[in-house]
Amino acid sequence: MSHPDLNLLVTLDVLLTEGSVARAATRLRLSPSAMSRALARLREATGDPLLVRAGRSLVPTPRALELRERVGQIVEDARAALRPATTLDLTRLVRTFTLRNRDGFVENFGPDLIARVSEQAPRVRLRFVPKLDKNSTSLRDGSVDLETGVVGKTTGPEVRAQALFRDRFVGVVRIGHALSEGEITLSRYATGRHISVSRRGLDKGPIDEAMEPSGLKREIVTVVGSFSEALALARASDLIASVPERYTGNLRDGLHSFPLPVAIPDHTVSMLWHPRLDADPAHRWLRGCVRDACTAMR
């Protein structure tokens, strides 16, 4: 048979276990004639009689005896594969999860996340890798288990997403900077010297677009690729950084932050994963840990 009926494996397992067409038919809820036809198909598929008459009973052939243990294990493995997953034992879970994030995530949420994971599943390891673009290739090919970010046009349509928190951009300067005191008007903000954050090296972004109706422009002194770089420069100079508030909470310690004097829409930071991991108990647990760690950091 070029395309064997795998359902015959279950029939063969019962036949070899019972050693009787009648008992096998009863167990499988088949008529004796249907069971006899199934035995005929098994004989054709294996090229062996399998069960032969010896007096008033049937006895297995050497080929049947050879198959009995193997077929039984195959059927049990198939049943286990189709069974719902058992309860996850986190204390025995050994796994490495790869998380892809922009800079700021590890510094801000990493300590709490690692502590939660270590307490519940001490043999699980987290590997953090930088998020250098927004495409979903690494989720599709399985090199990344989970990532955080803003869902956008380049996010794969099949990718699952769950919101973690809402965030907004704030201005950041060193303590003692002129903008660390008094009301921050759009004019005062615009006349300062600014740092632009762009992974693609662009010197114009949403803040600049939002300022256009006012006729004011920021003076962009330097362009960097990460929030941490922008904050390091703001800490050591009179430059102004504009970064997401919650995403950079710990990075802004010792700096003065203020609401931007221009309307920029808030954005939602989500966690994203491929649907093949949707029902995986360990991955579901990891998603819960990430959600809890992000919720705790307010």
| Angle CA 150–189–298, to nearest 5 | 40
The predicted structure's pLDDT at residue 1: 45
The predicted structure's pLDDT at residue 4: 67
The predicted structure's pLDDT at residue 83: 66
Torsional sign, CA 106, 107, 113, 114: positive
Q: Which two tokens stand for residue 205?
A: 């972004």
Q: Rounded to whole angstroms, how far apart are CA atoms 131 and 139? A: 12
Proportion of the chain above pLDDT 70, given as a percent:
96
3-state secondary structure of 47: coil
Query: Contact at 8 Å (CB) between 166 and 192?
Result: no
CA 145, distance to chain mean position in Å, is: 4
Question: Among candidates 101, 104, 100, 99, which has minimal Cα distance to 230?
Answer: 104
* 124-135 tens-digit pLDDT: 999 999 998 888
pLDDT at residue 52 tops 70: yes
Q: Rounded to whole angstroms, how far apart are CA atoms 49 and 58? A: 11
pLDDT at residue 69 tops 80: no
Q: pLDDT-based confidence at 73, cuts 50/70/90?
A: confident
The predicted structure's pLDDT at residue 44: 87
Query: What are the angstrom distances between the C-alpha of 240 and each of 3, 60, 186, 219, 243?
Result: 69, 85, 13, 10, 10
The predicted structure's pLDDT at residue 67: 83
Average pLDDT, the chain: 90
Query: Contact at 8 Å (CB) between 51 and 63?
Result: no
| Angle CA 68–73–78, to nearest 5 | 130
pLDDT at residue 80 tops 70: no
Q: pLDDT-based confidence at 3, cuts 50/70/90?
A: low
Q: Rounded to whole angstroms, how far apart are CA atoms 160 and 142? A: 14
The predicted structure's pLDDT at residue 276: 87
Whose tokens are 């080929």? That residue is: 63
> For the chain, which domains are there?
7-82 (1.10.10.10), 90-167+268-296 (3.40.190.10), 169-265 (3.40.190.10)
The residue with greater pLDDT, 235 or 155, is 235
Residues forming a β-bridge with 96 = 125
Q: Rounded to whole angstroms, how far apart are CA atoms 252 and 275? A: 35
Query: Contact at 8 Å (CB) between 37 and 29?
Result: no
3-state secondary structure of 186: helix
Q: pLDDT-based confidence at 298, cuts 50/70/90?
A: low
* 183-207 tens-digit pLDDT: 999 999 999 999 999 888 887 889 9
pLDDT at residue 2 tops 70: no
pLDDT at residue 86 tops 70: no
Question: Among candidates 250, 275, 282, which has minimal Cα distance to 117?
Answer: 282
Q: Which two tokens stand for residue 212?
A: 């256009």
* 210-259 tens-digit pLDDT: 999 999 999 999 999 999 999 999 999 999 999 999 999 989 999 999 99
Mean pLDDT of 97-103: 94
